[in-house]
Amino acid sequence: MNQETKARFREIRDKVEAKERLSLDDGIFLYDPAVSLQAVGELANLVRQRKNGNVGYYNINTHLNPTNVCVYRCRFCAFRSDLRDPKGYAMSDEQILDRGREATENGCTEMHIVGGLHHQKPYEWYRNMIEILHSEYPQIHLKGWTAVEINWFEFQTKKSIQWVLEDLKSVGLGSMPGGGAEIFHPEVRDQLCEHKANTHAWINIHRTAHQVGLRTNCTMLYGHVEQAFHRIDHLIRLRELQDETGGFQVFIPLAFHPENTKLSDLKKPSALMDLRTMAVSRLMLDNVQHIKAYWIMLGVETAQAALAYGADDIDGTVRHELIYHDAGATTPEFLSIDKIRNLISEAGREPIERDTVYRRVHRDEQDFKKWTSGESVDAPQVATL
Ligand code: SF4
């Protein structure tokens, strides 16, 4: 770094050390290639340590993508299918319950449920899925339906967002994933997915979810047509909602995978870009407790390195993930618990199993499949709404 860059970086370091909030300009500066990645990473690591101590979280989870048929055509999506395409599928109740049984047999604490917006499936099909899984396997936390799906249910039912969320909660929805955020700024969003839930809808649905007592996650899809300004603008919009509600529990930067998408001429982001985005996210989102390195998208090695660049969570064992594997992710489809724990230990952190809402999981020593959720891993003010 030259003298000028060093001086500007020092200003930012002073702010971080004093726990002062970083500005839009600060964030954009941290993306400047002239700013040493290692220096940005060290600063993010300081914040990670201050917020979460010397631990790395993981969970034992499975994915359920009940249909890939989708009315939308997002340009970055390799997962979707047309209604009459041979690739299209929609799972039966039996297949869905089988997935719940398999999850229970494997000691999963969470099922992550997201998919397409099927032209012919009514809201009741999506609702019923939550209801049957919850009544058959009540211990499994159902983290389901992105804001894009909730927006679709609002359209289908002609009811309010609050009604939809309370209705789903009443039959067993436990929390919401953070997908569908992509990049909020219209200069980018309109190029990626102009028809699906817009930025206002995404923010409003998460706000309402927090108001009805559902914790949610938040994400950002980066590494395609956006610039540093759009990324920082996105993070600041999330930070503002978090100031208002406190309902986000973790932020997950999602690396774009171009294969089989309408943006396949683009290159996927480099590992250096992944690490810088992880670190900048940790530094900008001063009010979000956890930052997750989602190994499925980053690759196992980069996710492990990300634990030194601001991330404190590496996601889960993950079974049956289809969305990013359809887009060319070459990561394994599943990581064993030993492998995940080793990845975290090798990075110098203590591996701790958490449930979806960040409570410590206690396993029965005789029977691994039996577990209970214990105390929150977070300070009380961030653990509860
Ligand atoms: S990203 Fe989601 S909403 Fe967009 S096309 Fe793919 S499945 Fe449909």
Mutate to test the pocket of ligand 1, among 189, 193, 321 (most ligand atoms within 8 A of CB): 193
- Radius of gyration (C-alpha) of the chain in whole angstroms: 20
Position 315 pLDDT exceeds 90: no
User: What is the atom index within ligand 1 of the atom nearest the CA of 146?
Assistant: 2
pLDDT of the residue at 381: 41
CB of 262 within 6 A of ligand 1: the answer is no
Our mutation pick for probing the ligand 1 site, out of 65, 85, 117, counting the most ligand atoms within 8 A of Cβ, is 117
Contact 322, 68 (CB under 8 A): yes
Domain boundaries, the chain: 46-62+145-383
The pLDDT > 70 percentage for the chain reads 94
181: Cβ below 6 Å to ligand 1? Answer: no
Is 182 annotated in a binding site? The answer is yes
Higher per-residue confidence, 238 vs 267: 238
- Residues 78, 80, 83, 84, CA torsion sign: positive
Sign (positive or negative) of CA dihedral 322, 281, 354, 307: positive
**Residue 74 marked in a binding site:** yes
The token pair at 370 is: 């039996």
Mean model confidence pLDDT for the chain:
93
- 371 alpha carbon – ligand 1 mean position (Å): 34
Packing angle, helices 93-105 and 123-136, rounded to 10: 30
Span from the CA of 277 to the centroid of ligand 1 (angstroms): 23
**What pLDDT is recorded for position 363?**
92
Least confident piece of the model among 150-164, 218-232, 250-264? 250-264
DSSP for 135-196 reads HH-TTSEEEE--HHHHHHHHHHH---HHHHHHHHHHTTEEEE--TT-S--SHHHHHHHHSSS
Per-residue confidence band for 193, with pLDDT thresholds at 50, 70 and 90: confident
- Mean pLDDT over 5-34 rounds to 97
Is 218 a known ligand-binding residue? no
In this structure, which amino acid lies at residue 79? F
Q: What is the CATH number of domain 46-62+145-383?
A: 3.20.20.70
Residues 252 and 275: their CA atoms lie apart, in Å, by 12
